[in-house]
Amino acid sequence: MKSPDQSPQRMSDADRNWRRFVLFRVLFNSRFYYPVLAILFLDLGLSATEYTLLNFAWALAIVFTDLPAGVLADRIGRKPLVVTAAVFMVLEMTILSLAPRNGGLVLFFCCLANRILSGMAEGMASGADEALVFDSLAERGRSSEWPLVLDQVMRWQGVGMIVAMLVGGAVYDPNLMQRVFSGLGVNCHFAQGSTLRFPVYLNLITALLVLWTALGLREPGLRKTHFAPENKDSSGPERTAWHLVVKAGTWIVRTPQALFVIVAGVLLDSVVRLFLTFSSSYFRIIEIPEAAFGIIGAMLGGLGLVVSPIARRMVTTHSLARNYALIALTILVGLIAVACRWNYWGILAILPLGAAMMALGYMVSYYLNALVDSSHRATVLSFKGVVFNLGYGFISLVFALVLRAVRDGGDAQEAVARGFNFLPLWLMGSGVLCLLYFGKHATLLTTKISKNEN
């Protein structure tokens, strides 16, 4: 007689969750309003200051949601958190679809609700979706297939990002929409007031598809330990949320490989994310026409198709330290090129930065899932999310101080150009400190990490 975990249904559940996880990630992250995010909120009637406050609120919502969501995922299951994230996405897009243009305080609070729900959706999904799929594979002894899952996610997210960037930028432009419909023989007039919500409407449709995808996921029926053994006192219904948080945090601190993955990861991730926040300013500095911004974004999204097989090969053939060193060197070269600010040709500097960002995300997910056991996998992944967002917030604050120091009476654009010189220096300084701290664990970090089936 077959045991429950050997039944064909369990096998199909793993494959089903795999497919739906890829679809969930693609639909959740391919947002049609990304190429016009800033001007969308400004055209709705917000000021630049209000828009900045909304982004700050979004980051805080992720920070305060991520870790509690991870704890809940480890206690009540992964699927409820993923479904909640999908519901929040539907709500955030509905509110933005209905927000009154030039609505003053009402508009601001609608957009604030949108940003908070968006951040909470990010926090709810962070870690829970990965943990659900990984556990589904692991209960069938298939956790070695996890790199293939990440590979598919990266590839299809690249395709989704290309489509979202090109379509979202196109439908926002009233002149382009006018020409398209005229070419189709449809006589209608488009103004900016009507087309500015088109990307939002498209995202509302994808949000409904995200909810349908999440509802079709199936909770794993069996949890097992993989690389790092679980302590005997860590299971059972008596676990409290605080116990899970403390246990996960203690495990990270006491596991040099996991601590390095997170600490070195946030140092690299934060500096690239900061640059990407100012990428449109960089394009203007190097005299790239604004009409090309959406095409550049699509090109960056397409990098996932190239990066994913390379990243998969790196994690399966090289050590943790070597892979991170290669990523750090790639980012450093890109930041130095950015600081040079070559007109037109400077666009090439963004390619190594985008590729390194994607490869780093792949590696962080691979290594943490390989190292942590199922009982607190989602909590550890949420720890990672919190740390990465806090790191981004910290370097943003530092960069704001740098911009204030280098402005010297000039305009903001020139201050940003000068501020880019700070980024490679910051990376080198933080990298040296990281090497000094983790040098005593060189043997562990230079050993290749592989999944251990138990």
Whether the CA torsion 68, 69, 70, 73 is positive or negative: it is: positive
Query: How far apart, in whole angstroms, are the C-alpha atoms of residue 27 and residue 36?
Result: 18
Do residues 385 and 250 both lie within one domain? yes
Query: How far apart, in whole angstroms, are the C-alpha atoms of residue 422 and residue 376?
Result: 38
Distance of CA 437 to the CA centre of its chain: 27
Query: How far apart, in whole angstroms, are the C-alpha atoms of residue 223 and residue 43?
Result: 49
Of the candidates 68, 218, 227, the residue with the CA atom closest to the CA atom of residue 143: 227
The two three-digit tokens of residue 451, written as one number: 């999944």
Cβ-based neighbours of 83, under 8 Å, separated by 6 or more: 211, 214, 215, 217
Do residues 168 and 25 both lie within one domain? yes
pLDDT of residue 11: 47
Domain end marker among 190, 221, 252: 221
Given a contact cutoff of 8 angstroms between Cβ atoms, the answer to whether 427 and 271 are in contact is yes
The CATH code of the domain that includes 333 is: 1.20.1250.20
Of the candidates 280, 254, 447, 419, the residue with the CA atom closest to the CA atom of residue 350: 280
Query: How far apart, in whole angstroms, are the C-alpha atoms of residue 282 and residue 300?
Result: 15
Do residues 286 and 140 both lie within one domain? no
Read off φ and ψ for residue 207, nearest 5 degrees: -65, -40
Do residues 37 and 173 both lie within one domain? yes
* Structural domain count of the chain: 2
Do residues 416 and 278 both lie within one domain? yes
Do residues 176 and 32 both lie within one domain? yes
Query: How far apart, in whole angstroms, are the C-alpha atoms of residue 234 and residue 376?
Result: 9
Do residues 54 and 165 both lie within one domain? yes
Residue the block writes with tokens 């720890």: 383
Do residues 211 and 250 both lie within one domain? no
pLDDT of residue 260: 92
Q: What's the Rg (C-alpha) of the chain?
A: 22
Q: Is residue 234 part of a domain?
A: no
Query: How far apart, in whole angstroms, are the C-alpha atoms of residue 254 and residue 388?
Result: 19
Q: What is the pTM of this model?
A: 0.67
Do residues 253 and 204 both lie within one domain? no
Query: Number of helices and strands (H, E) in the chain?
Result: 20, 0
| Domain ranges, residue 217 | 1-221
Distance of CA 21 to the CA centre of its chain: 15
Do residues 28 and 164 both lie within one domain? yes
Q: Is residue 235 part of a domain?
A: no
Q: Is residue 453 part of a domain?
A: no
Q: Is residue 47 part of a domain?
A: yes
Of the candidates 249, 199, 189, 190, the residue with the CA atom closest to the CA atom of residue 44: 199
Given a contact cutoff of 8 angstroms between Cβ atoms, the answer to whether 346 and 258 are in contact is no
10-residue mean pLDDT series, the chain (454 residues): 44 78 89 76 73 74 80 79 93 92 89 92 82 81 78 82 81 76 73 79 94 87 45 45 73 87 92 80 73 71 78 85 92 92 85 90 85 74 81 78 70 72 92 88 73 43
Given a contact cutoff of 8 angstroms between Cβ atoms, the answer to whether 383 and 249 are in contact is yes
pLDDT of residue 48: 56
Contacts 24+ apart (CB under 8 A), 437-442: 437/263, 438/256, 438/260, 438/263, 438/264, 441/256, 441/257, 441/260, 442/321
Do residues 25 and 141 both lie within one domain? yes
Count how many Cα atoms sit within 13 Å of the Cα of residue 73 in the half-sphere of its side chain. 36
Domain end marker among 170, 191, 221: 221
